[in-house]
Chains A and B, each alone.
Chain A
């Protein structure tokens, strides 16, 4: 494939960022919105084209004779050479998951660009302050995210990983005069930074032993006769494992060095993907404009962790095969997070927070899916995870954009200000409902298929995982419909005096909702296994479809929806009763198990008060005090000996005499004593 379009896919958003960033203030908001959206549209087309070419052209660099999909490095530029082997390159790697991600990112991003034209202005059509900046940042984010998914080596990924972090920081803090937004952006950056520390160290360990940053060198073999084309291969990953066996120390704190490296890298993924206990930034990140939440904190950036694990999946797999714990860690973290987030989501008031916790929970599903994926059952989990990533991006973006429309209409994030909006905002209502059905896993919406695959792969791994995740799926259906009912039903909407009644938003906002609703409904039907599997070998899931599992999960979901309907469809005292029935649990969930308080305690009470302040004190008083003390001592000494210069000649002479005697006498004594 020619490199022009891939390069343009990255260059376009970057140029847009620079253009809008530097000259945005000379443009009117309207024009810059149009430029941004149009630019993103072009990127969208190019991404679709690229994905199309990858999946459907049948070119030998993308698919081999056996029908296995290959990894192709479209272009690769040396960016920074550390040693002979360790080179950071900037390149464009095309393989099933990166092609899939290109589609996801460009789609959602374009939708959000379009949507923001409507969202980022008030009811009178006046554009928000910093509208141009907003589009610049969106472009920056798109650039970074695209660069991340097409990374050819782990360091390129790290670079863009940091860049998405920074653009996320900028976008969360978009309303920078609001202290809560500033705090949230700071929190998001620092928490992910902390996770990235693990990622970085993981990279260092991995690259030190393997001697390379390239994904292809770690997980694939070059295809004979072709330049820059590789096939995923477990043998290469095994080779990496052997390198660790031979070069590295036997173990460190009970785990092998390779496990440590993978777990550390996964730590980076935990940060970005808001896995417990590094999830605390994501709910707060909802302080950003809602389209941003839809794009970054629901659909794309937060799944980067999943993507990272998927990217290195052969290594994880080999590690697990030889008894390493890396994948188990992924599973456990995912499982716990999924349950936790789902429980918390049941109690939140703020609709964006509910969605945020739902996002955490769904990403945890993907993680679990990767974690339970094993060779014995065709690594179904890997495919399921990617599939869920895809569908989740669509329906979660839909939900967020819908929530944005609601918020924009009502002017509040709180569902208590909404209730009964179904009549006022029919389009929003329908699309939101589609999103909820999809996430709850109701056939034939897309969520059903992906979730079913995940549950199947859990089932394949262990019955415990299956039961656990099914329970979480039930909770998912419950809290989503709780939200749905509370927004659109519960009681009639009360319009405050002097306010307009909420209504459907302009076309720029509704059009994306409709498009995404359609996609969310239909995309489950894509035969995903044909396109995305861990080794590129097509896998026909429908052929292995397990109706029992599907039926059970469907039933569970329906039951959960019914319960939610019973409790929240009309105003009734049942929710309050339930709350009173288990107050302790409710309180913990409501307060997110006090994680924020714990972190506040650690950062402020321990790091700031017990480390930083003492160090600063130590520096000012001990180190600096020593230096000043030297000066003081000199001065003191100067005062102490001033009596020598008493002004009295006879004292001078006396000192002189003693000095003269001592000069000879002490020398004599020393010679006498020591020689």
Chain B
């Protein structure tokens, strides 16, 4: 049996989109702030993958998508660092990192 197939961009885009949506779901539903950050990482990661996939499939002659991903990873790291610092500070103040409890200010 001579099974041959072509890689198609959709084969990567859909999982990546799925990952993004999982991230969205997690971001919207998790109560632990660190879990929310984890969801965020999923989203960012999906974006990175998108870039890479587009780069590879549509514009193989250049590296822009890849470089964006490279920098995006760094940005993600920076975001995580700041966010975790703030979360830890919050934890120090209230011994709690449930996002639901952070709704003193409203209306």
Contact = CB atoms under 8 A, between A and B. Distances in A.
Q: Tell me, yes or no, whether A and B come into direct contact in the complex with CB atoms closer than 8 A.
A: yes
Contact of B103 (A642, A646, A653): A646
A647 B28 contact: no
A4 interface: no
B53 to A, nearest CB: 21
A648 B99 contact: yes
A654 B24 CA distance: 9
B107 A649 contact: no
A649 B99 contact: yes
A648 B107 CA distance: 10
Interface in B29-78: 29, 36
Contacts of A653: 27-28
Interface string B79-107: 00000000000000000000110111111
Nearest to B27: A653
A647 B27 contact: no
A538 to B, nearest CB: 98
A525 interface: no
Interface residues of A, number: 10
A642 B107 CA distance: 5
B27 A648 contact: no
A642 B29 CA distance: 22
Nearest to B102: A649
A647 B99 contact: no
Contact of B24 (A642, A647, A649, A657): A657
Interface in A619-675: 642, 645-650, 653-654, 657
Contact of A647 (B29, B36, B103): B103
B71 to A, nearest CB: 23
Interface in A340-396: none
Contacts of B102: 647, 649
25 contacts: A642-B107, A645-B106, A646-B103, A646-B106, A646-B107, A647-B102, A647-B103, A647-B104, A647-B105, A647-B106, A647-B107, A648-B99, A648-B100, A648-B103, A648-B106, A649-B102, A649-B103, A650-B27, A650-B28, A650-B29, A650-B36, A650-B99, A653-B27, A653-B28, A657-B24
Interface of A: 642, 645-650, 653-654, 657
Given A648-B103, A649-B99, 15 more contacts: A646-B106, A646-B107, A647-B105, A647-B106, A648-B99, A648-B100, A648-B106, A649-B102, A649-B103, A650-B27, A650-B36, A653-B27, A653-B28, A654-B28, A657-B24
Which A-B residue pairs are the 8 nearest by beta carbons? A647-B106, A647-B103, A642-B107, A648-B103, A645-B107, A650-B28, A654-B28, A649-B99
